[in-house]
């Protein structure tokens, strides 16, 4: 058995239970202090690190009675963040081990608070930990570390889903017998066996289903009400390519995933800057919808963004780090609606946003009446 000193997120008992794969009733806990160390936040992520500091004092929790399977699971989880165990002596003279980051791995970023972390990151971290520990025994901790940004993005989508929608429909019983993640990298794919409550109150037979697990996305159609024009972007898209469509380069709204800790509105502003070097003055909510609820978790936050779209604003943009090659186009509302009328827009969020704009265009233009385009 081992005694470990927890100074960071493992003091959050719901997270520790997920990592250990069960309750913590077999363990003993008591407050403890480790002299000669300092705990600080990590600039690269919402978690803490510990480092030697002759004048420092780290306060935390001593966990007694960890069995080898417990330590193996903790090593797997902590190892994904490049933390390894080091033996230390606590202030009371008792020996224990503590997870210390590998040298030069993370950048210390000031004081760290468990309470603040729990409030902002606790729920996301629990969802992410469930996925991480789901790979225990099948993937190395290095493989999981490589996809951890996507794991966190999927966890953020689950946090968003927990906030609910404006109106809820029927609540029925669902029994999930099996859920297996058969693929996981940038996206994930789950196969499930389940039964669900039918409208007559009986339970269905066990059915086989598969679900594409994506993230939340912010989608933005920029509109200039003074010039009565919009901006669309064009880029190569994998969906049309895989389907065998001749139109692989598609016209579409600005779009991108909602990052962990980010609101959909913040994502829309960020993506406008990244994909079109565009500043949005105001966002109008168009819709919050599932892309395809029958087979995917992907959820769209669709906005219309009021912006200044003068001549010459279109160009080529995108992030080199994401291998983006994006060209923007400015077109009049009349040309846009004409494309919609002849079914020349093959992008569902764009069609939805265009129809929303058609209904609200007069109001938006009236609100900007009296202003003069620069």
Residue 42 phi, psi (nearest 5): -110, 125
pLDDT of residue 168: 65
Residue found by looking up tokens 């160009």 in the block: 315
Q: Residue 347 pLDDT more than 80? A: yes
Q: What is the pLDDT of residues 354-374, one digit of tens each?
A: 999 999 999 999 987 666 555
- Same domain? 221 vs 363: yes
Structure tokens at 300: 């769209």
Contact 37, 53 (CB under 8 A): yes
Quick check: is 139 in a domain?
no
Mean model confidence pLDDT for the chain: 93
Same domain, 227 and 116: no
Q: Is the pLDDT of residue 167 over 80?
A: no
194 falls within a domain? yes
pLDDT at 306 over 60: yes
In a shared domain, residues 313 and 187: no
CATH classification of the domain holding 352: 3.90.79.10
- More reliable by pLDDT, 50 or 164: 50
pLDDT in tens, 52-96: 999 999 999 999 999 999 999 999 999 999 999 999 999 999 999
Q: Which stretch of DSSP H or E encloses residue 278?
A: none
For 148, the 3-state DSSP assignment is helix
- Given pLDDT bands bounded at 50, 70 and 90, which one contains residue 323? confident
Q: Per-residue confidence at 214, pLDDT binned at 50, 70, 90?
A: very high
Does residue 140 belong to any structural domain of this protein?
A: no
What span, in angstroms and rounded, lies between the C-alpha atoms of 71 and 85? 10
Q: Are residues 112 and 227 in the same domain?
A: no
Q: Is residue 103 part of a domain?
A: yes
Tell me: do 309 and 347 sit in the same domain.
yes
> In this structure, are 156 and 279 located in the same domain?
no
User: Is 224 in the same domain as 305?
Assistant: yes
Residue whose C-alpha is closest to residue 28's, from 52, 53, 2: 2
Predicted confidence (pLDDT) at residue 23 exceeds the cutoff of 90: no
- Asked if pLDDT for residue 320 goes beyond 60, the answer is yes
Asked whether residue 122 is assigned to any structural domain, the reply reads: yes
Residue 170 scores a pLDDT above 70: yes
Percent residues over pLDDT 70 in the chain:
97
Q: Do 343 and 222 share a structural domain?
A: yes
Structural domain that includes position 129: 2-134
Tell me, yes or no, whether 201 and 230 share the same domain: no
The answer on pLDDT for 6 being more than 90 is yes
* In a domain? residue 310: yes
Range 271-294 average pLDDT: 96
For residues 126 and 241, state if they share a domain: no
Q: Are residues 189 and 257 in the same domain?
A: no
Q: What's the rounded mean pLDDT across residues 257-274?
A: 96
pLDDT at 356: 97
pLDDT recorded at residue 1: 87
Per the structure, how many domains does the chain have? 3
For residues 121 and 208, state if they share a domain: no
Catalytic residue numbers read 322
């Amino acid at each position: 058995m081992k005694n470990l000193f927890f100074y960071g997120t493992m003091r959050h008992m719901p997270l520790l239970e997920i990592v250990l794969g069960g309750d913590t009733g077999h363990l003993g806990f008591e407050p403890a202090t480790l002299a000669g160390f300092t705990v600080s936040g990590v600039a690269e992520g919402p978690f803490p690190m510990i480092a030697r500091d002759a004048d420092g004092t780290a306060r935390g929790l001593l966990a007694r009675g960890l069995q080898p399977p417990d330590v193996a699971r903790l090593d797997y989880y902590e190892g994904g963040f490049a933390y390894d165990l080091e033996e230390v002596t606590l202030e009371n003279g008792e020996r224990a081990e503590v997870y210390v980051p590998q040298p030069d791995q993370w950048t210390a970023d000031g004081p760290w608070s468990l309470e603040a972390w729990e409030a902002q990151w606790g729920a996301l971290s629990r969802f992410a930990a469930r996925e991480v520990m789901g790979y225990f025994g099948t993937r190395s901790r290095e493989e999981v570390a490589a996809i951890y940004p996507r794991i966190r993005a999927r966890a953020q989508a689950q946090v968003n889903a927990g906030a609910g929608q404006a109106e809820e429909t029927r609540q029925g019983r669902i029994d999930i017998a099996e859920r297996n993640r058969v693929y996981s990298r940038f996206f994930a794919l789950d196969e499930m066996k389940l039964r669900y409550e039918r409208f007559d109150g009986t339970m269905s037979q066990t059915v086989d289903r598969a679900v594409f697990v994506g993230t939340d996305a912010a989608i933005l159609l920029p509109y200039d009400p003074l010039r009565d024009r919009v901006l669309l972007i064009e880029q190569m898209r994998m969906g049309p390519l895989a389907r065998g469509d001749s139109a692989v380069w598609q016209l579409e709204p600005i779009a991108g995933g909602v990052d962990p800790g980010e609101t959909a509105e913040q994502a829309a502003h960020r993506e406008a800057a990244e994909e079109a070097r565009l500043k949005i003055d105001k966002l109008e909510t168009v819709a919050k919808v599932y892309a395809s609820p029958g087979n995917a978790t992907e959820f769209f936050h669709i906005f219309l963004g009021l912006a200044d779209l003068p001549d010459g604003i279109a160009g080529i943009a995108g992030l080199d780090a994401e291998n983006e090659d994006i060209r923007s186009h400015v077109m009049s509302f009349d040309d846009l609606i004409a494309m919609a009328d002849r079914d020349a827009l093959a992008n569902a969020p764009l069609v939805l946003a265009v129809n929303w704009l058609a209904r609200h265009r007069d109001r938006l233009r009236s609100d900007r009446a009296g202003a003069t385009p620069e």
